[in-house]
Amino acid sequence: MKNEYDLSKMKSRPNPYAKYLKKQVTMRIGTDVIEYFKKMAQNTGIPYQSLINLYLKDCATSHRELKMQWK
């Protein structure tokens, strides 16, 4: 194995996983919702932010729609 490598001749290419990266957003979420996911996080050992992301991803992939009725 060489002590040093010359990387200046390497060709760059786009990251094939770029479309799977996460984007930081600011959301207003009720404290009761956050507490629900924090309790679930304690039971599962998964961080609550990851649980929220997994739940939203499941909703998006299954095309789940919110059913609301205004009285």
Q: How many CA atoms lie within 13 A of 39 on its CB side?
A: 5
Give the pLDDT confidence of 9-29 residue by residue, as tens digits: 888 888 888 888 888 899 999
Core vs surface per residue 27-66: b (16+ CB within 10 A) or e: eeeeeeeeeebeeebeeeeeebeebbeeeeeeeeeeeeee
pLDDT truncated to tens, each residue of the chain (71 aa)?
Answer: 788 888 888 888 888 888 888 888 999 999 999 999 999 999 999 999 999 999 999 999 999 998 988 88
For the chain, domain boundaries: 29-61
Q: What is the pTM of this model?
A: 0.67
